[in-house]
Amino acid sequence: MEERKDTAAVQKMRVDRAASSLCMAYLLIAFFAFGLAALAGVLQGLVRGGMVTLPGGINYYQLLTAHGVLMGLVFTTFFIIGFLISGVARTTGGALTPGSLRLGWIGWALMTVGTLIGVVTILRNDASVLYTFYAPMKASPYFYIGTALLVVGSWIAGIGIIASYRAWRKRNPGKTSPLFSFMAVATIVLWFIATIGVAVSVVFLLIPWSFGWVDRVNVLLTRTLFWYFGHPLVYFWLMPAYIAWYVNIPRIIGGKLFSDALARLAFLLLILFSIPVGFHHQLTEPGVSADWKFVHVILTFAVVIPTLMTAFSLFAVFETTGRAKGAKGLFGWFAVLPWKDVRFFAPMIGMLAFIPAGAGGIINASNQLNQVVHNTIWVTGHFHLTAATSVTLTFFGVSYWLIPALTGRTLTAGINRLGILQTVLWTIGMLIMSGSMHYLGLMGAPRRTAYTTYGDSAAALGWMPYHQLMAIGGVLLFLAAALMVGIVIYLAFFAPKGMTEYPIGEEAAGALATPRILERWPVWIGISVFLILIAYGMPIMDQVTHVPPGSPPIRTW
């Protein structure tokens, strides 16, 4: 039982100053981007509902691009890298190796420069192409360069994370790695495999074409490469939230991990089943055969298995913890969960939101039902439940303890109450906004569209009250976002000094050993590559060799 005592001692430990500063640098940029993106978001909602018109010079699609890029690419990536680095430092002895630390800062600098370049092109209205930047709409070449730098920076930081993990394994031969570090590495592995697609598209196809070095671009190939990346991107957001659910929450509620081995297996399955599935985003488009689309649809649904494993594990932890506290009856444990602790409350709402969000996802990926909802605002409603509720509320929940733990401050009772209020406000705003979006989508209202009645068409006029409801939800969300930014600033710079625990769940006594196979990366990466080759090999070959003449660049805004 040597190991157990060790963990107990480590439990008191914090992340050292050097690693803390690095993580805070990531988190502050993340929340800065979040604040700007929230402002762009609320304006969009108000414009679309016909409640305001934008002052001269600003175009709706410029705001939409800013919102998508800053929320979906900048806020998430910066938060995730910062969170993963902190947890790896925390679970591998409290500090990063000097090499990791250096890579972390280089990555941060590249990501920040890339973001700045991208934001400037968007503000200059030279990149109103939305975060999907579908060719042959052509943004300024610097928009693509900024995106590439953001991705490359995240790779370098990712290598730093892997370096610290490897150093730990070298120091501890034959031992199972800390669960957080393993999961962080799994997330980074997914990110590496996924971003190769978008990197190839940006560097080899879009940048040369946007500078005019080549005349035409293979439109379908850029779309396929984008969605090769676009779906696992969602899992890159989700896996860190799962880390918080699997590793941090059990400790916060005073319980133990359910099963170390199953948690690892779930993460490996997420890597396998989140990449070879991109065609389910392209179901209604020409040039991809219906049979290959079907292969992707089947693989998409395989992700149900690790998702169900995760749901079981989490609720098993809740139930056993509740019963250990003396809860009686079939559901008594639910009531004794620490609902008044925002570190639990915010992520728990996120988990609950994942139930309807997952059901919506199954609809989207269904071969036939997709045609009803494709490119309608239903889809926007869907990912505002997954990304903007499940993931985002979890990230907020993490921030309440992570920021004070990194800055040597404390989460006060007042901020805890404010955090609960923030969560409630966010949840109500999202229910109204996402609910309207789902309904409007079923009626056929398109996503990514400015205020319009299509020449007073009866259908479009009927949508307008729900667009206005959506805007009201958006206003509540903006208020909640502003409150969150305020809380982050307070926790980072003004909260009382003190000791805050970085919560890491432990295994229950008598837990079984984790099988070694789960840490043999070449095996799992090999299977992943194999599945990708099956799902994408032939269609991409086809899209390279058997193609129509490409498209010249066009600026349509």
Partner 1 sequence: MHLHKYEKIWLLFGGGVLVLFILILSVNSFAMGMMPPSHMEMIDPTKVDQTPPFDNPGLRQVGDNEYELVMTAFIFGYAPNEIEIPAGAKVTFKVTSKDVVHGFAIPGTNVNMMITPGYISTLTHTFSDPGEYLILCNEYCGIGHQVMATRIVVKGKEGEKS
End-to-end Cα spacing for the chain = 66
Which one, 8 or 304, has the nearer CB to partner 1? Answer: 304
Coarse DSSP helix, strand, coil percentages of the chain, rounded to the nearest 5 percent:
75, 0, 25
**Based on CB atoms, which residue is closest to partner 1, 8 or 461?**
461
Catalytic entry in 169, 447, 451, 490: 447
Shortest spacing between CB 362 and partner 1, in angstroms? 8
Of 16 and 542, which CB lies nearer to partner 1 in the complex structure? 542
CB of residue 441 to partner 1, shortest distance in Å: 10
Contact 231, 280 (CB under 8 A): yes
Residue type, 373: V
> Considering 383, 395, 478, 502, which one is annotated as catalytic?
383
Six-digit token string for 128: 């109103």
Q: How many CB atoms lie within 10 A of CB 329?
A: 9
Residue 250: closest CA among 121, 349, 343 = 343
**Angle at CA 15, nearest 5°, toward 10 and 20?**
175
- Cα separation of 298 and 150, whole Å? 32
Give the tokens for residue 466: 């729900």
* 54/312 Cα distance (integer angstroms): 47
- Minimum Å gap between C-beta 272 and partner 1 is 15
Helices in 60-140 by DSSP H: which ranges?
60-68, 76-91, 98-123
By C-beta, is 413 or 512 nearer to partner 1? 512
Given 48, 90, 384, 467, the catalytic residue: 384
Give the three-class secondary structure for 454.
coil
**Residue 356, amino acid:** P
* Location of structure tokens 């946007």: 210
Tell me, yes or no, if 516 is annotated catalytic.
no
* 235 belongs to the catalytic site: yes
Active site residue 448: yes
What is the closest distance, in whole angstroms, from the C-beta atom of residue 530 to partner 1 in the complex?
21
Contact 377, 440 (CB under 8 A): yes
Catalytic pick among 67, 231, 280, 409: 231
The least distance separating partner 1 from the CB of residue 312, rounded to whole angstroms, comes to 5
Q: Is position 438 annotated as part of the catalytic site?
A: no
447 has catalytic annotation? yes
Phi, psi angle pair for 511, to nearest 5°: -65, 145
Active site residue 296: no
Q: How many CB atoms lie within 10 A of CB 115?
A: 24
**3-state SS class at 137:** strand
Active-site choice (83, 143, 229, 235): 235
Q: Which is nearer to partner 1, 21 or 59 (CB)?
A: 59
Q: Is 384 a catalytic residue?
A: yes
Least Å distance, CB 519 to partner 1, is 13
Q: Which amino acid is at 251?
A: R
Nearer CB in complex with partner 1: 208/446: 446
* Residue numbers annotated as active site: 231, 235, 382-384, 447-448
